[in-house]
Amino acid sequence: MKRRGLRNVLVLILIVLVLLALAVLFGLFRTSSVSPDVKQALTEAQKQELLPRGRELALAGDCFGCHSKTEGPKAAGGVPIATPFGTLHSTNITPDPTYGIGQYTREDFHRVLRDGIAPGNRNLYPGMPFVFTHVTRTEDIDALYAYMMSLPPIAEPNVPNTGVFTLPVRPFMNFWTLINFPKRQPPTREGASEQWLRGAYLVEGLGHCASCHTPRNLTMGVSFDKHFQGGDIVDGLVVPNITAETLAQRGFDAASLSQYLRTGMSAQGTAFGGMYTVVHFSTSEMEPADIDAIATYLMTDENGQLLTPPPGPAPLAQASQPLLQPGRYHYASACAGCHGAQGEGIPNVAPPMDGNTAVMMSNPSNLITVILQGIDTQTFTGNQRMYAMPGFADRMNNEDIALLASWMRAQWGGQEEAVTAAQVQAIRAKQ
Ligand code: HEC
Ligand code: HEC
Ligand code: HEC
């Protein structure tokens, strides 16, 4: 009798769990956060008026960076995003009625940006950064909608996804969002300036800076409790910590940070890898006032203090000790011609190494990666150019690169910990 009672309880629990799982799978917990006011279509006059604002927000949201192939038509999609489970492609978001979003109503568009759900109740994968665009205000989503709908339609079919994304797995995203989609609000702070508020709104929302700069948890959700602490590897580079304290330690203040985001170049170094794409498609094209706001927000610490940098690190004693002298010689013979004898950089040739954030990062990984691989020629704002950074993988062995990197870190980076040949080999092996 007693055993049967226990069994009944277990069966009941099991049934409840299965029902709950089904409820999640069928999206019962995915309520719409879209304002009911957007059911009505916008008038042509309203749309016209919203265009300039929409353009700026589309740039802030890097819609074109993700939705346009490098040489392909603007916003026509097809950019591959590799994941361990297969390759996902961004889609055509031009107003083409067949292949793009031409049939989208105002409400459909709001639902994508606020909730990550496309028409036909299609759960979008978080490759589309709806976890961030969610905070965008109704009138701003309207502006984005008006602007996207004003682009030339392009009849380009979507590129099929591969791997697990070919299976009917979209409903399973309901489990993912249950744990990884906090319903965040536009950030506020008592007594904050208009500028701080604007910066916070752009950085935490459309700008989705945290999609790279905040580490991910085991299920690939954003660990908002480690906001901007960096450390994950994106396209072969370790993403730096961009909390206000760390940026200041690496020599940034609001003015130089703004310059870095507007032009991709500053005394602290150039933008490369994934960050170059962000600067190229998004921040360098935005209104300077918005970039100043972003820089102000990022340089403000938790107490509301706008931080300025302490004096840069003095050369450590080990930089002049015999062990690291081969590193100094490698620098003089292979690097100084472009980066300057004292690491001071040469305008229109190469950025400084003295005060360069890649040299100051406690993790030496990016420094080693750049020395091995180099950086392809990049164009900067106003068609400014520098030389290309050559790769030294074929010209220097692991031991040479380890000594060179150790000396540079001690001389200019304030980093005591020596780089080992094994660390260089580990990165070389991945290329
Ligand atoms: C980090 C890359 C990235 C950025 C930035 C991005 N998107 Fe997307 N977007 C994607 C991917 C990938 C998909 C496809 C997701 C899927 O298939 O589930 C997508 C899907 C969409 C869709 C759904 C299309 C459909 O019906 O299938 C819309 C609409 C959209 N994006 C609009 C935008 C807008 C507007 C912006 C700028 C505010 C933007 N996206 C920024 C990656 C991005
Ligand atoms: C032919 C000129 C040239 C030589 C030689 C050269 N570099 Fe560079 N280096 C550059 C340029 C130009 C960039 C910036 C490229 C960009 O961002 O587009 C760069 C970037 C870098 C960076 C990334 C930091 C940043 O702010 O972009 C590091 C680190 C670096 N170089 C280290 C070295 C070291 C170490 C050597 C010697 C082994 C070396 N470079 C030799 C031209 C050179
Ligand atoms: C696609 C991933 C990605 C996104 C999105 C991204 N970043 Fe970055 N960011 C990087 C990587 C990788 C680096 C390191 C390479 C470099 O210094 O250029 C970097 C470097 C930086 C640096 C330089 C830090 C230092 O110490 O040198 C700043 C500042 C920065 N990012 C700010 C931002 C802001 C602001 C946004 C949002 C508008 C953003 N990033 C979005 C990947 C990203």
Say what the pLDDT of residue 71 is. Answer: 84
- Provide the CATH number for the domain formed by 194-299 in this structure: 1.10.760
**Kind plus residue range of the DSSP H or E element containing 7:** helix 2-25
Domain 194-299 and domain 317-429 have a common topology: yes
pLDDT in tens, 332-378: 999 999 999 999 999 889 999 999 999 999 999 999 999 999 998 88
For the entire predicted model, the pTM comes to 0.95
pLDDT in tens, 293-327: 999 999 999 999 999 999 999 999 999 999 999 99
Round to whole Å and give the CA distance between 123 and 27: 9
Substitution site in 81, 132, 213, 291 for ligand 3 pocket (most atoms within 8 Å of beta carbon)? 213
Residue 39 has pLDDT above 60, yes or no: yes
Which segment of 6-20, 148-162, 295-309, 408-422 scores lowest on mean pLDDT? 6-20
DSSP string covering 346-361: BTTTB--STT-HHHH-
Q: How confident is the model at residue 1 (pLDDT cuts 50, 70, 90)?
A: low
Round to whole Å and give the CA distance between 387 and 371: 15
Share of the chain above pLDDT 70, in %: 99
Ligand 3 pocket, 239 CB below 6 A? yes
Say if CB 133 and CB 113 are below 8 A apart: yes
Share of the chain above pLDDT 90, in %: 86
Ligand 1 pocket, 101 CB below 6 A? yes
Say what the pLDDT of residue 383 is. Answer: 62
Q: Phi, psi at residue 256, to the nearest 5°? A: -70, -30
From residue 353, how far is each of 99, 142, 333, 344, 346 by CA, in Å? 48, 45, 15, 6, 10
Mean pLDDT over the full length of the chain:
94
Say if CB 352 and CB 344 are below 8 A apart: yes
Ligand 2 pocket, 378 CB below 6 A? yes
pLDDT in tens, 125-140: 999 999 999 999 999 9
Say what the pLDDT of residue 23 is. Answer: 83
Which residues are CB-contacts of 251 (< 8 A; sequence separation ≥ 6)? 267, 268, 309, 312, 355, 357, 360
Round to whole Å and give the CA distance between 201 and 349: 36
* Nearest Cα residue to atom 3 of ligand 3: 212
Say what the pLDDT of residue 26 is. Answer: 82
Ligand 1 pocket, 100 CB below 6 A? no
Chosen CATH of 317-429 out of 1.10.540.10, 3.20.20.10, 1.10.760.10, 3.30.70.1060 = 1.10.760.10
Say what the pLDDT of residue 381 is. Answer: 74
Say if CB 419 and CB 405 are below 8 A apart: yes
Round to whole Å and give the CA distance between 374 and 36: 52
Residue 397 has pLDDT above 60, yes or no: yes
Q: How confident is the model over 220-227, as a mean pLDDT?
A: 96
Which ligand lies nearest to the CA atom of residue 206 in the structure?
A: 1
Round to whole Å and give the CA distance between 87 and 82: 5
Say what the pLDDT of residue 27 is. Answer: 82
Domain spans of the chain, in order of start: 36-180, 194-299, 317-429
Residue 49 Cα, ligand 3 centroid: separation in angstroms? 33
Residue 391 Cα, ligand 2 centroid: separation in angstroms? 9
Residue 224 Cα, ligand 1 centroid: separation in angstroms? 22
Q: How confident is the model over 184-195, as a mean pLDDT?
A: 93
pLDDT in tens, 76-115: 999 999 888 899 999 999 999 999 999 999 999 999 999 9
Say what the pLDDT of residue 348 is. Answer: 86
Tokens of 297: 């927000």
Beta strand pairing call for 265-266 and 269-270: antiparallel
Say what the pLDDT of residue 391 is. Answer: 97
Q: Phi, psi at residue 97, to the nearest 5°? A: -70, -25
Round to whole Å and give the CA distance between 404 and 327: 4
| Helix pair angle (194-204, 288-299), 10° resolution | 90
